[in-house]
């Protein structure tokens, strides 16, 4: 039996996959979204621990273009998004405002993907492990044994993961497409979350942009407005993260906390509990110039995500929309 026309399997429930799914569903397509995570959002990630709420992936986002601006306005109206600040503290603790709004999810960065996933057919804790051409379309098999089929397939995981998945069954990419995808790379990022027994010494507005080594960023999730309990998120710089990626969590937590203490001139409170998240793919270092990549025309196979176009949250969102535009035959 031929696969249903106007149907798509989307692998990845990050901002890119969810926006693509939304756009396709709004145009009458049947869309199945699969994600290996326990929740949606991918790198827009919020974790709860011991009464604290921590954003441990993306910390905020900016808006540069009109298409994304419209979406953010809608999200503000529904209450999924709030403006956080117009500038962060510099490494010496001074707040520098440049007039550009920085946005956050209302209850943490996952508020946005959760809002987008509400009306979609999203299956979490489903790791896609094999892709095959079947009945004129695509069949995706998950580790659990679940299968999902569609006339089109959209892969939005970080590209090295999507690349492995695309060629996991009987399908082979052309040499040219594989070379383009293999040229994409990312930096890793080690993140430490620490629940504190009092207000941390992070200056207003609760985010310090260091952009260096060994530290890239420190934020106070309470001042940010997403956590009842005091708690900080620390991101290591890309070089330090690469060198220490395999270190045990206890060592990553204690070392990054001591760096943060040094940076802030003391934490200001006692550490009650820590947890660690290691992102193998955090920021894109070598991107693809196009907003998405059509890797096969019939049946359609597309790659999207923050590696395509300008990157970050806005780039990922626009990439998902561009992939949907291609499938819908729109110019975008
Ligand atoms: C530590 C860190 C800090 C950041 N800070 C910022 C910031 O402040 N501002 C900003 O704009 N951006 C920031 N970013 C980048 C931003 O988070 C990303 O650009 C954006 O969220 C990427 O969205 P995406 O949909 O392309 O990918 P993702 O969010 O990575 O979504 C891909 C999804 O695919 C899923 N997946 C992968 N493999 C499989 C599989 N085999 N089967 C099923 N599902 C699979 C994953 O679970 C994931 O949910 C940061 C990222 C990190 C990690």
Co-location of 239 and 131 in the same domain: no
Q: Do the Cβ atoms of 200 and 246 come closer than 8 Å?
A: no
Residues 151 and 266 in one domain: no
Whether 116 and 224 share a structural domain: no
Which residues fall within 8 angstroms of residue 313, CB to CB, at 6 or more apart? Answer: 15, 44, 58, 61, 306
Are 159 and 219 part of one and the same domain? no
Residues 202 and 274 grouped into a single domain: yes
Q: Are residues 313 and 203 in the same domain?
A: no
Give the distance (Å) from ligand 1 centre to CA of residue 44: 6
Does residue 157 share a domain with residue 140?
Answer: yes
191 and 179 within one domain: no
CA distances from 46 to 54, 114, 165, 277, 301 (A): 5, 11, 26, 11, 30
Query: Does residue 55 fall inside a structural domain?
Result: no
CATH of the domain at 273: 3.90.660.10
pLDDT 10s digits, 127-180: 999 999 999 999 999 999 999 999 999 999 999 999 999 999 989 999 999 999
- Residue 137 Cβ contacting ligand 1 at under 6 Å: no
Q: 201 lies in which domain range?
A: 186-285
Terminal Cα-to-Cα distance of the chain (whole angstroms): 32
pLDDT under 70 in the chain at which residues?
Answer: 332
State which of 9, 10, 11, 12 you would mutate to test the pocket of ligand 1, scoring each by most atoms of that ligand within 8 A of its C-beta: 12
How high is the pLDDT of residue 201? 92
For the stretch 92-116, pLDDT in tens is 888 888 889 999 999 999 999 999 9
For the full predicted model, state whether its pTM sits above 0.75: yes
Q: Which residues of 41-77 are buried (b: 16+ CB within 10 A; e: fewer)?
A: bbbbbbbebeebbbbbbbbbbebeeeebeebbeebee
Residues 112 and 245 in one domain: no
Q: Are residues 280 and 308 in the same domain?
A: no
266 C-alpha to ligand 1 centroid (Å): 31
Residue 99 is predicted with a pLDDT of: 86
Q: Is residue 131 domain-shared with residue 280, that is, in the same domain?
A: no
Residue 270 C-alpha to ligand 1 middle, in angstroms?
Answer: 31
């Amino acid at each position: 039996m031929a696969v249903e026309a106007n149907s798509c399997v989307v692998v990845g429930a990050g901002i890119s996959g969810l926006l693509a799914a939304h756009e396709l569903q709004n145009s009458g397509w049947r869309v199945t979204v699969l994600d290996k995570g326990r929740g949606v959002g991918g790198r827009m990630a919020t974790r709860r621990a011991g009464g604290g709420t921590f954003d441990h992936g993306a910390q905020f986002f900016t808006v540069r273009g009109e298409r994304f601006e419209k979406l953010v306005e809608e999200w503000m109206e529904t209450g999924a998004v709030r403006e956080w600040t117009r500038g962060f503290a510099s490494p010496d603790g001074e707040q520098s405002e440049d007039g550009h709004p920085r946005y956050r999810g209302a209850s943490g960065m996952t508020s946005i993907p959760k809002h987008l996933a509400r009306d979609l057919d999203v299956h979490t804790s489903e790791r896609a492990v094999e892709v095959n051409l079947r009945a004129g379309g695509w069949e995706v098999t998950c580790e659990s044994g679940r299968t999902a089929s569609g006339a089109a397939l959209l892969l939005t995981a970080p590209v090295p993961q999507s690349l492995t998945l695309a060629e996991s069954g009987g399908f082979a990419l052309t040499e040219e497409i594989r070379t383009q995808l293999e040229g994409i790379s990312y930096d890793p990022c080690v993140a430490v979350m620490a629940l504190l027994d009092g207000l941390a010494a992070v200056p207003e507005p609760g985010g310090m942009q260091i952009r260096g080594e060994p530290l890239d960023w420190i934020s106070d999730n309470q001042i940010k407005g997403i956590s009842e309990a005091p708690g900080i998120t620390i991101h290591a710089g890309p070089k330090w993260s690469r060198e220490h990626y395999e270190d045990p969590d206890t060592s990553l937590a204690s070392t990054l906390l001591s760096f943060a203490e040094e940076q802030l001139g003391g934490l200001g409170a006692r550490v009650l509990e820590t947890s660690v998240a290691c992102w193998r793919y955090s920021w894109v270092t070598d991107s693809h110039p196009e907003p998405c990549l059509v890797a096969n025309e019939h049946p359609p196979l597309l790659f999207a995500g923050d590696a395509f176009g300008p990157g970050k949250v806005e780039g990922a969102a626009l990439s998902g929309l561009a992939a949907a535009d291609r499938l819908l035959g729109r110019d975008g």
